[in-house]
Amino acid sequence: GESVGLHLPTLSVQEGDNSIINCAYSNSASDYFIWYKQESGKGPQFIIDIRSNMDKRQGQRVTVLLNKTVKHLSLQIAATQPGDSAVYFCAENIYDYKLSFGAGTTVTVRA
Partner 1 sequence: SQTIHQWPATLVQPVGSPLSLECTVEGTSNPNLYWYRQAAGRGLQLLFYSVGIGQISSEVPQNLSASRPQDRQFILSSKKLLLSDSGFYLCAWSVGVSEQPQHFGDGTRLSIL
Residue 2 as a binder of partner 1 (CB under 8 A): the answer is: yes
| CB burial string 93-108: b at 16+ within 10 A, e below | bbeeeebbbbebbebe
Nearer to partner 1, 18 or 46 (CB): 46
Of the candidates 68, 75, 81, 78, the one whose C-alpha atom is nearest the C-alpha of residue 31 is 68
Nearer to partner 1, 34 or 109 (CB): 34
Residues in the chain: 111
Nearer to partner 1, 14 or 108 (CB): 108
Task: Write the interaction track for partner 1 spanning residues 19-58; mark x where CB under 8 A is met and - where it is not.
Answer: ------------xx-x-x----xxxxxx--x-x-------
What does the binding site for partner 1 look like in residue numbers (CB under 8 A)? 2, 4, 31-32, 34, 36, 41-46, 49, 51, 89, 93, 96-99, 101-104
